[in-house]
Structure 1
Amino acid sequence: MSIQTFPLATVKKIRQYIKNMLVVPDSENYPKGWVSFEEVDDLPEPESLDQLGDLFKFSSPLDAQMPAPNTAGSWFISTVNPGSVFSKLPGLKLKSGWRLVSYLYRQQDNGVGITWAVPEDLSTTAELENALADSSDEITPPHPTGALPDFMEALEGDRSPRSFMIASLLRRELEEFGRLGKHCRWSNHWLINEILAQVKWQWKTSAPKDLSTKVQVLPDGKVAVEFFTLQVTKPVVICRHLERYPASGYNAKYVDRPVAIPVRKT
């Protein structure tokens, strides 16, 4: 049995890289729409191919039946390729023949998203659009044909301690992808490696002596990852995150649990 500890700066750097690769464009976060042909005439003449492409990011009366980005509460396919995140992630990659795809749901300034791992031959736009027919509100997302129950099942790697630390962060960033406004969850968590001394905390159990990110490899090949975060939105809490990986694969059983709250001043 071995335990490897990772410096906070390293974990933060990897998380930031993942976040930078999973950015929803403004055209999908805050979609705009044309309501008349007069508005089309008022648009500035594009000066480059990039600007010309931007014109087609708007939903117009001509494509009102298409699953274009919208704030009307209808799911649509994101143009972002979540799989691009693997280009520089050491020790972790998508299995051959699989692709990650995401759907987004927007209502005014709030939104959610969902990411699936689907076979490449079922990842065409036509196939992905078919799943939109069975979606409705934010809790009934599209479910494309052939999608794995857990997108982490489509991952493989060198099973190094570092790869499991990265997988733990990646899962949370992919689950957070597309969340906007009041639906944000993981975005409100800061990675920490020590107890904030300027705050008095009430612990559910005894306070841990070490809050650093740790990966434990067991003799049977199973792996456990532990790290801590501070949730900076109300209710402010310190959370313990624990993942248990099987002897093969990267689809873990995980628990995110509050372990301490600030003591209120009297």
Structure 2
Amino acid sequence: MQKYNIQQFPPSATKPNLLANPTPVESYDEFDFGWFRTPANPESIVMGFSHLRIKDGYKLRAYQYMEGGNGNGVVWAIPIDTDLPDPNECERLEEHFLSAPKPAFALDDFMQGIDGDKTPLSYLQASIAFHELHEFGAFWHGTSWGRDIILPLKDDQKSHYDLYEWEMIEDEPEIIEPHFYYDIEGNPVIVFHTINDIGNITLNRYVHTFSKNDYTAHVERTCIATAGGGIIF
């Protein structure tokens, strides 16, 4: 796939750069088991990035799933004049491993409710928001993305992660920094690499190919190297 006008970013650009003070959610459940409406507001993630915003007429709300110390969540973009219904009033997504509830009026993809200024940095921020929102409400065994360390490593990380002896599955990346380009079809693309130590230590490449029309994205994660056993929790 053709790449041109590549723009590189420091890892710090993947971090939120605004202090977010989200509006409290309107309705939530006082539960700590099964599926329930969480008081946590997923809009705080989007509001932490200066080049993103919630689309006019929409808001983000989430359901939380708890079982013991494990947690997962699901985020939906819904019309601003609606409330998140009780999960028992929703259809269930059979393809979701916990049969997550989906309101009838929710958009199919929460990224349809997110907009930005179309700059390269906005797409980098959107790629991080994508992962953070997909793992919103995750605890313990529900965590995956939360253990990803975006490369290149900071000085205070190198003493630990540089000890790994990598067995390469693919060639080492030409560009290790997070970067942006337009593909041959004109779609914005963000690529970054991470280390994740859950189960097996892996070096991973994430490729986010965004729509030309909005901030929905197709995301591919590829393991390009391994370094033995990691953590188990």
Question: Which bin holds the TM-score, normalised by the shorter protein?
Answer: 0.7 to 0.9
How big is each residue's C-alpha offset from its partner over 1:137-173, in whole Å with a ceiling of 9 and x where there is no partner? 9611111121111100111111100000000000100
Are the equivalent residues in 1 in contact too, given 2:42–2:136 (CA < 8 A)?
Answer: no
Measure the CA separation in 1 of the matches of 2:173 and 2:105: 43
1:255 equivalent to 2:217? Answer no
Q: CA deviation at 1:223?
A: 0.7
1:3 equivalent to 2:6? Answer yes
Calculate the TM-score normalised by the size of structure 2. Answer: 0.81
Are the equivalent residues in 2 in contact too, given 1:221–1:246 (CA < 8 A)?
Answer: no
How big is each residue's C-alpha offset from its partner over 1:212-247, in whole Å with a ceiling of 9 and x where there is no partner? 100103475411110001002221101100011121
Percent identity between the aligned chains?
Answer: 24
For 2:111, the aligned partner's letter is M
State the match for 1:207 in structure 2: 172
1:46-195 alignment, distance < 5 Å: 67-71=29-33, 74-122=34-82, 124=83, 127-129=84-86, 131-134=87-90, 139-193=98-152
Call closer, same or farther: CA 1:128–1:230 in 2, change over 3 Å: same
Measure the CA separation in 2 of the matches of 1:263 and 1:172: 25
For 1:182, the aligned partner's letter is H
Greater strand percent: which structure?
A: 2
Are the equivalent residues in 1 in contact too, given 2:29–2:38 (CA < 8 A)?
Answer: no
For 2:206, the aligned partner's letter is H
Are the equivalent residues in 1 in contact too, given 2:90–2:104 (CA < 8 A)?
Answer: no
Q: CA deviation at 1:135?
A: 6.7
Unmatched 5+ residue regions in structure 1? 23-65
Q: CA deviation at 1:69?
A: 1.7
Task: Determine which of 195, 198, 218 is the counterpart of 1:233.
Answer: 198
Call closer, same or farther: CA 1:263–1:79 in 2, change over 3 Å: closer
SS in 1 for 2:101: coil
Call closer, same or farther: CA 1:88–1:70 in 2, change over 3 Å: closer
Measure the CA separation in 2 of the matches of 1:228 and 1:170: 16
Q: CA deviation at 1:210?
A: 2.1
For 1:156, the aligned partner's letter is D
Greater helix percent: which structure?
A: 1
Q: Which has the larger radius of gyration?
A: 1
For 2:81, the aligned partner's letter is D
State the match for 2:25 in structure 1: none
Are the equivalent residues in 2 in contact too, given 1:7–1:212 (CA < 8 A)?
Answer: yes
Q: CA deviation at 1:107?
A: 1.0
Instruction: State the 4+ residue runs in structure 1 displaced beyond 4 angstroms.
Output: 134-138, 194-197
**Aligned-residue RMSD, C-alpha:** 2.7
